[in-house]
């Protein structure tokens, strides 16, 4: 006899039933269109943090955004070395196959990955016990220096600076991909940095010239 569903799975199934009533049935025409394929115009690169759901923040319908989520919303630099390059594969698919017109890197407040990069306080050293995380957030090593020099390693001001620096780092790494750089130069692709402050629910957008973030009003 199979085990009874866990409370966590029960919660998900209850949500699925609400979706069938409120999200599927009223929008059958839209779902039929999506059954023929997807044509999103925007790619969102966001953090895996459970508090930062791009679909909720931007109030979008299914099929409008191609979303990639990982620790700290990071994009690694372009490289062709052997390995499993999940973010790079998703980026290539979005740019070359789906032909998105906009890529938004969405950082957020109270980001655990950025806090770990800032403090460099990680427990464990083996993969599965800290090693995977340490290797991933090493993408922020270069950005960490200027933040620490100005703000130190603790406090909300330092954390916010590190979170902003993470967005800038991912944008810079995006531009190391030839397909991205070429399309941006031709004007068929735009890159945007954004930041969602969980504490007050305010979205900030980065000024490409100054690198500063300003709230959306």
pLDDT level of residue 110 (50, 70, 90 thresholds) = very high
- Check: CB of residue 13 under 8 Å from CB of residue 73: no
Do residues 211 and 143 make contact, with C-beta atoms less than 8 angstroms apart? Answer: no
CA–CA gap between residue 5 and residue 158 (Å, rounded): 43
What element of type H or E holds 62? none
pLDDT of 94 strictly over 70: yes
Q: Which residues of 15-38 are buried (b: 16+ CB within 10 A; e: fewer)?
A: eeeeeeeeeeeeeeeeeeeeeeee
Contact 116, 57 (CB under 8 A): no
Q: What mean pLDDT is predicted for residues 44-73?
A: 97
What mean pLDDT value characterizes the chain?
Answer: 95
Q: Confirm or reject CATH 1.10.40.30 for domain 38-215, answering yes or no.
A: no
pLDDT at 128 over 80: no
Which pLDDT does position 131 carry in this prediction? Answer: 85
Residue 138 per-residue DSSP state: G
Instruction: Tell whether the model's pLDDT for residue 125 goes beyond 70.
Output: no
Flag whether pLDDT at 183 surpasses 70. Answer: yes
**Banded pLDDT at 123 (limits 50, 70, 90):** low
Q: Is the per-residue pLDDT at 27 higher than 90?
A: yes
pLDDT over 90, % of the chain = 91
| Cα torsion 28, 33, 35, 41: sign | negative
What's the pLDDT score for residue 1? 44
Domain ranges of the chain: 1-37, 38-215
Cα distance between the two ends of the chain: 56
Q: What's the whole-model pTM score? A: 0.94
């Amino acid at each position: 006899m199979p085990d009874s569903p866990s409370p966590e799975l029960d919660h998900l199934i209850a949500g699925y039933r609400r979706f069938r009533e409120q999200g599927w049935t009223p929008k059958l025409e839209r779902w039929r269109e999506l059954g023929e394929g997807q044509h999103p115009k925007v790619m969102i690169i966001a953090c895996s943090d459970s508090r930062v759901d791009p679909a909720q923040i931007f109030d979008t319908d299914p099929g409008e955004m191609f979303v990639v989520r990982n620790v700290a919303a990071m994009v690694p630099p372009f490289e062709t070395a052997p390995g499993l390059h999940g973010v790079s594969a998703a980026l290539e698919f979005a740019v070359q196959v789906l032909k998105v017109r906009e890529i938004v890197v969405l950082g957020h407040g109270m980001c655990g990955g950025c806090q770990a990069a800032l403090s460099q306080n990680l427990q464990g050293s083996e993969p599965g016990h800290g090693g995977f995380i340490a290797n991933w957030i090493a993408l922020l090593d270069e950005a960490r220096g200027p933040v620490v020099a100005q703000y130190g390693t603790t406090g909300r001001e330092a954390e916010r600076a590190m979170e902003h620096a993470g967005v800038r780092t991912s944008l810079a790494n995006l531009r190391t991909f030839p397909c991205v750089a070429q399309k941006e130069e031709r004007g068929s692709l735009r890159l945007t940095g954004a930041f969602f402050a969980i504490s007050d629910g305010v979205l900030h957008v980065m000024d490409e010239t100054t690198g500063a973030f300003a709230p959306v009003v």
